[in-house]
Amino acid sequence: MSRAAARDEGRAAALGELQALLGDRLTTAAAMREAHGCDESWHAVAMPDAVAFARTTEEVAAIVRICSAHDMPIIPFGAGTSLEGHVSAVHGGLSLDLSQMNAILEVNAADLDVRVEAGVTRKQLNDYLRDTGLFFPIDPGANATIGGMVATRASGTNAVRYGTMRENVLNLTAVMADGSVVRTARRARKSSAGYDLTRLLIGSEGTLGIVTEVTLRLYGIPEAIRSGVVPFASIEGAVDAVIETIQSGLPVARIEILDPLSIRACNAYSKLTLAEVPTLFVEFHGTDASVAEQAERFGAIASEHGGGVSEWATKAEDRTRLWEARHNAYYAALAYAPGKKGMVTDVCVPISRLAEAIRGTLADLETSFLKAPIVGHVGDGNFHMLLLMDPANPQDLAEATRLHDRMVARALSLDGTCTGEHGIGEGKIKFLEAEHGTGVAVMRAIKQALDPKGILNPGKIFPV
């Protein structure tokens, strides 16, 4: 029997056992397989052989044991909002959808933590917490699942004050490649007991284990919140204002940059009337007195670097409208170029090198026929470029790839990273060795030890 025939026979056997376990929660319908074979990126659809919907950790463990016995790949799936092809089934197999595991299991208000299933979304969690006076601050923009946010080590607009998923996960429950269930830690805020399995799984993109439960840090909802927009005469001035703000110790909660093209797209999509110039979106949390003082100090810093008059919003509905426009910048850009897709990428550099990184990227764009808005979580040196192109057009694809690769190479030359928050997926595999060198061999050894059959999300992070 050929290798391909043996593989097909094994997968057929696995699907038969999964059907017996799950009933109608296993599907081979083409539309469902296609929906689970892609994320929101430009990467081509790669459909799984089937899609399974799990409801408990024990069920996930049983599914994994069946797939392991038949060498069938498993691709964990949350909300499908990732941006580097994380959920595509590049080698076929089973897409394991965890969205029905969406229970909020335990809120410990006195300890400021919550335990949730992996399919809970960040908006669902904060809606549930609202009456407790607590909130979960990590906000990548999309209404991602908590499990997916763990898998990609998500961060977003609040990271400059509250950190990323790495700092805000206390422990995980995960199903390993052999079907065993592991709890990585307890609820204590710190521990020196052995290897840090929690951080090992955070950012592993479903390649080391399948996260089914997460315990998260919570924070008190601020007494007062003040959001604003500040126009600048130049990108350099805006970035310099950010650097001085961070270095001065001003406790900014969010500080985002949008270039003129991003502002133009957001104005059209979100019905804003902002000046089409480099612009900072900022937000401060605290008491009424403290946020007023922080806003005043920031305004003084901004004016020293060419910032215009700040427009501030304190009402919840006005703040929501402002930040919804920022979060919708991706969709605004796509609407600005109908028929195009977005090759969206992110890099992160030390903030002292941020102006240099953005300036070099803009210089590349000035000589290109492609349009590409730039936005960024500049408080921690992270920014995004959205290359608007047609992936079916060889000229577009080649030019977008060239610009993308130059942006990453520049970030690495500035002692930065090829991705600040999107992850490697299948889209940035070629940059991993350039960034980590011999560290990649250590990563491969960990992968081999925990997933010797290579069934967990193969083709992501490392080539297969």
User: Cα separations (Å) of 341 from 144, 174, 396, 401?
Assistant: 20, 34, 11, 13
pLDDT in tens, 78-94: 999 998 999 999 999 99
Burial 92-127 (b: 16+ CB within 10 A, else e): bbbbbbbbebbeeeebeeeeebbbbbbbbbbebbbe
Query: What is the residue type of 211?
Result: V
Q: Give the pLDDT mean for 292-301.
A: 94
Per-residue tokens: 9: 């026979």
Q: Which helix (H) or strand (E) holds 329?
A: helix 329-336
Phi and psi of 50, rounded to 5°?
-160, 165
Q: What is the CA radius of gyration of the chain?
A: 22
Instruction: Tell which residue, 82, 74, 45, 47, has the closest CA to residue 208.
Output: 74
Query: What is the residue type of 285?
Result: H
Q: Please determine, for residue 464, whether its predicted confidence score (pLDDT) is greater than 80.
A: no
**What is the structure's pLDDT at 213?**
98
Ranges of beta strands (E only) in 246-302 are: 252-258, 279-286
Give the separation between CA 280 and CA 260, rounded to whole angstroms: 11
Q: Please determine, for residue 313, whether its predicted confidence score (pLDDT) is greater than 90.
A: no
Chain-centroid distance of CA 82 in Å reads: 6
**What is the structure's pLDDT at 197?**
97
Q: Please determine, for residue 390, whether its predicted confidence score (pLDDT) is greater than 80.
A: yes
Query: How do strand 311-313 and strand 224-231 relate by DSSP bridges?
Result: antiparallel
* pLDDT interval class at 42 (50, 70, 90): confident
Q: Please determine, for residue 325, whether its predicted confidence score (pLDDT) is greater than 70.
A: yes
pLDDT in tens, 347-365: 999 998 998 999 999 999 9
Q: Are 83 and 344 in contact (CB under 8 A)?
A: yes
Q: Are 440 and 52 in contact (CB under 8 A)?
A: no
pLDDT in tens, 93-132: 999 999 999 999 999 999 999 999 999 999 999 999 999 9
Per-residue tokens: 74: 């498993």
Query: How do strand 113-117 and strand 104-108 relate by DSSP bridges?
Result: antiparallel
Q: Which helix (H) or strand (E) holds 354?
A: helix 354-366
Tell me how many degrees the CA angle 442-384-338 measures, rounded to the nearest 5.
125
Q: Give the pLDDT mean for 175-183.
A: 98
Q: Are 342 and 330 in contact (CB under 8 A)?
A: yes
Q: Please determine, for residue 1, whether its predicted confidence score (pLDDT) is greater than 70.
A: no
Burial 19-28 (b: 16+ CB within 10 A, else e): beebeebbbe
Q: Which helix (H) or strand (E) holds 168?
A: helix 165-168
**What is the structure's pLDDT at 458?**
97
**Residue bearing tokens 């005469």:** 233
Give the separation between CA 392 and CA 380, rounded to whole angstroms: 35
Provide the percentage of residues in the chain whose pLDDT is more than 70. Answer: 100
pLDDT in tens, 137-163: 999 888 999 999 999 999 988 999 999
pLDDT in tens, 16-40: 999 999 999 999 999 999 999 999 8
CB atoms within 10 A of CB 309: 10
Give the separation between CA 265 and CA 320, rounded to whole angstroms: 18
| pTM exceeds 0.95, yes or no | no
**What is the structure's pLDDT at 7?**
83
The DSSP result for 218-244, as a single string, is -EEPPSEEEEEEEEBS-HHHHHHHHHH
**What is the structure's pLDDT at 302?**
95
Strand partners, 50: 94
Query: How do strand 210-217 and strand 224-231 relate by DSSP bridges?
Result: unpaired
User: Cα separations (Å) of 229 from 93, 274, 280, 323, 326?
Assistant: 47, 9, 6, 10, 11
CB atoms within 10 A of CB 236: 17
Ranges of beta strands (E only) in 54-180 are: 74-77, 94-97, 104-108, 113-117, 134-135, 169-175
Strand partners, 172: 214
Give the separation between CA 429 and CA 202, rounded to whole angstroms: 18
Q: Are 39 and 86 in contact (CB under 8 A)?
A: yes
Measured over all CA atoms, what is the biggest interatomic distance in the chain, rounded to whole angstroms?
76
Q: Which residue has the higher pLDDT, 320 or 430?
A: 430
Mean of per-residue pLDDT scores for the chain: 94
Q: Are 288 and 102 in contact (CB under 8 A)?
A: no
3-state secondary structure of 454: coil
Q: Which helix (H) or strand (E) holds 152?
A: helix 146-152
